Structure 1
Amino acid sequence: MSSSPTEGPIVRHRRVFYIPGYDPIHPRRYRELYRKESAAQAEISGYSLTLRPKTTKGPYGWHIEAEQDGQATGTDMEVLYWSDIVRDSMASSIPATYLQLVWTASAYIFSGALFRLMRLRKGPVIAALYPVGMLLLQLALCCLVGWGLGRLVQLGVAQVVPMAAPWVGLAVGLAVIWAGLRWFKSKDAKLFAYYLMHDYSFSARTLGANSPALEARMAEFADTIAEALKTDAGEVLVVGHSSGAHLAVSILSDLIRDERVPADGPVLSFLSLGQVVPMVSFLPRAKRLRADLAYLSARPELTWVDVTAPGDGCAFALCDPVAVTGVAPADKQWPLVFSAAFTQTLSPERWKELRWRFFRLHFQYLCAFDRPGDYDYFRITAGPLTLAGRYAGRPPSKTRIETPVNRFRSMA
């Protein structure tokens, strides 16, 4: 596979809007990731790329000056962050988290979504079951230790104050259980059980519908992108990663429906990376998302490219999000689905290093490849070609999955 561009008009100035997934971290994390990984990719691929302070008003971002294939391009990149909404959703007590566990598991099991998702890809379903299993294991271990220590204390107290022994043993046991659960939660930066539980419960709690707070934020994002579409930029590129991909689908659908994409404005492009769309679109009340998927897939106002990789166990790799949801219209033309092919675009040494780092691999789309193919995040976001020009004539992956397996297909 060639990593150089193919054809199309040259982009001198680009606006990029990155929509992260369910992430409570400040967007400066993405700037540092971009700075580090772009430098690595530029050295590997033989082009120049420099980050500078942003030149536009609005959300957190940075400016990129790049020279690739003999062409100079300036890019203003901004992060459309919703980390405050994520943090609010994560502000749950330990008991509340276990209630979320029960509700989330019930939502996916009793709706039948869990079993249908497994027919697509087992990896992301296992990732979704991980926090359930880990939290239940933590509870079981704490209860076992609490029961054991409580019993020992009860036997000791029974020698002195027999009447009080059962109550003292119970109090000690409960205290040990609570202390153990708090200890496990304090280690969640390594275990990810609470984080992932909050992530999956975020959509499950409303059975796939967006919360009012999220809808309001998405409307703000739409306004920001609409303003960029009024400028003289050569391209406005929206990048949605992980759960940010399905937010982007709805935001872009709203922009086009509301006739806020000028015919003589910048080229509009959409790049979805590591998407987990079926985790939401397969839920009963995800009518808004299903309608937006169907609508956007047939629109000529934009180019939509979807990139995943089977090596990413957290994404629905090569699953056409429109087709598998069962809402593909007769005139469907998007997305173009292909693989970042981690096992080919990463050297054997690098793949061996990353293979079992599942959450790191979920972010590989935003990182450097030491054997780059035709997917290069830094050529797409800072290079001289539009997304349409870069992938003109590029066939979709032959192994893509398009079988409609979703039970719920009603649309708003």
Structure 2
Amino acid sequence: MAGFKRKVFYVGGFDPRGPRFYHALGAEQIERWNLRMEEAATLSTRRNVSDTRVDWTIANPGRAVETDYSFLRWDDLVRANWIGNPFTLAWRAFRAYRDNIRNLDFATGKRLGKGQLITLFYPAIFTLLFPLAFGLPIALLLAIWLPWLFALPIGLIAGIFLARPLLVKMHAPWLLRFFVFNSELGGSGADPALNARLDAFADEIEAALDQGWDEVVLLTHSNGSILCVPLLARLLRRRGGALPPNFTFMTMGHCIPLVACRRDATAFKEELAYLASQDFRWIDIGSPPDGAAYSGVNPMLLVAPDPRPRMELLSPRFHLFYDPETYHKGYANKYEIHFDYLRTGDRVSEIDWPSLMATERTASQAVADFRANH
């Protein structure tokens, strides 16, 4: 029987892949961790609890640890917002960038991180430039035989098809969809389906808070951090502003300023300000090379001069745990960098995903050990 029992609720990013992908990723990382640690942790099969929740268990008998892991699903809502038609994507991306240029607090955004502003704009710039770079030479060649009225559109269409593999490799279409979703979320607030889903998530988490777990963690990755601002506000209001001492909110690669820096995101900023007035434990793990995350940034400072929550800002220092040939770096690996939070490297870190799931250390103890050792 487990001596330490942990409950984790996971809210992922803007990803159409559901629990099957993340379960497989977790199993792979637990296996890698076992090899490095010479332990025998296991990850169970998936259990469909409801339409919005899938569970699995991470057990480590050698340490008498059991982690009950609940994947809170919103991948169906991502798929519903996944723009397939390239012309529709182009139009909605144009509107999203127009609204960002009008409403984004660029001075604050620049102060928080230039890399994040580059990540915001490079998908749109490259999506425009690459088809032109490929298509205009073709149009010039065709213009030898055809009128410009025909040569130019044929060249541009050819440029779009030729540029597509390169843009996909850079994950530009994915990032465009991500920015469109969050731009529309910031401008108008969550839609009814998303609000209902957050209510369902709050029901699941609230029910677990009084079940005697040694630790309860609300864990988010990427875009999940944005969703968890109104989600955590719901929990706090239901509990009279008090969460139990065994509860920790943990963000990995948070991108909250993407919405919080919008002048028109009034509802979202009100929820963030409410969080800033409460007392709870918040740990953020953010890697400085990750241009899709705001590492070292306390987002509550955007709306409150003296936030009350006990927030720990921590760099995972991935470069210490990967060999040079396997370390993800550079623009070609931006996507991989953003997922390293959910992996274990060539050497084990106290705050890599398997270590947080398969050891008896609480999240706070893991952070303390990481700081002491690195």
TM-score class, shorter-chain normalisation, is 0.7 to 0.9
Does the 8 A contact of 2:9 with 2:71 survive in 1? yes
Amino acid at match of 2:189: N
1:215-253 deviations in Å (ceiling 9; x for gaps): 222222112222323433332211111111121222111
Find the aligned partners of 2:371 and 2:269 in 1 and give their Cα distance: 25
Find the aligned partners of 2:370 and 2:35 in 1 and give their Cα distance: 26
Moved more, 80-89 or 270-279: 80-89
Q: How far off is 1:297 after superposition?
A: 3.7
Does the 8 A contact of 1:24 with 1:84 survive in 2? yes
Corresponding residue of 1:227? 207
Find the aligned partners of 1:25 and 1:56 in 2 and give their Cα distance: 16
Q: How far off is 1:254 after superposition?
A: 0.5
Q: How far off is 1:115 after superposition?
A: 4.3
Residues 1:311 and 1:180: Cα distance change in structure 2 (over 3 Å)? closer
Does the 8 A contact of 1:345 with 1:370 survive in 2? yes
Find the aligned partners of 1:284 and 1:262 in 2 and give their Cα distance: 29
Structure 1-normalised TM-score? 0.79
Amino acid at match of 1:276: C
- Percent identity among equivalent residues? 26
Matched, 1:271 2:247: no
Residues 1:360 and 1:205: Cα distance change in structure 2 (over 3 Å)? same
**Structure index of larger Rg:** 1
Corresponding residue of 1:385? 361
Gaps of 5+ in 2: none
Find the aligned partners of 1:374 and 1:75 in 2 and give their Cα distance: 16
Find the aligned partners of 1:266 and 1:234 in 2 and give their Cα distance: 10
Find the aligned partners of 1:392 and 1:230 in 2 and give their Cα distance: 26
Corresponding residue of 2:175? 196
Find the aligned partners of 2:238 and 2:226 in 1 and give their Cα distance: 19
Find the aligned partners of 1:373 and 1:206 in 2 and give their Cα distance: 35
Residues 1:336 and 1:16: Cα distance change in structure 2 (over 3 Å)? same
Amino acid at match of 1:326: V
Corresponding residue of 1:37? 29
Choose from 247, 265, 279 the match for 2:227.
247
Q: How far off is 1:273 after superposition?
A: 0.4
Gaps of 5+ in 1: 1-9, 155-165, 397-412
Corresponding residue of 2:130? 138
Find the aligned partners of 1:92 and 1:206 in 2 and give their Cα distance: 19
Find the aligned partners of 1:392 and 1:186 in 2 and give their Cα distance: 44
More relative contact order, 1 or 2 (CA 8 Å, 6+ apart): 1
Backbone CA RMSD of aligned residues: 3.0
Q: How far off is 1:40 after superposition?
A: 1.3
Does the 8 A contact of 1:64 with 1:382 survive in 2? yes
Choose from 365, 371, 379 the match for 2:347.
371
Amino acid at match of 1:314: A
Corresponding residue of 1:108? 100
Choose from 166, 170, 173 the match for 2:149.
170
Does the 8 A contact of 2:134 with 2:162 survive in 1? no
Q: How far off is 1:94 after superposition?
A: 2.3
> How many residue pairs align between the two structures?
367
Choose from 274, 289, 293 the match for 1:311.
289
Q: How far off is 1:142 after superposition?
A: 5.6
Corresponding residue of 2:60? 66
Give the structure with the higher percent helix. 2
Structure 2-normalised TM-score? 0.86
Corresponding residue of 2:275? 296
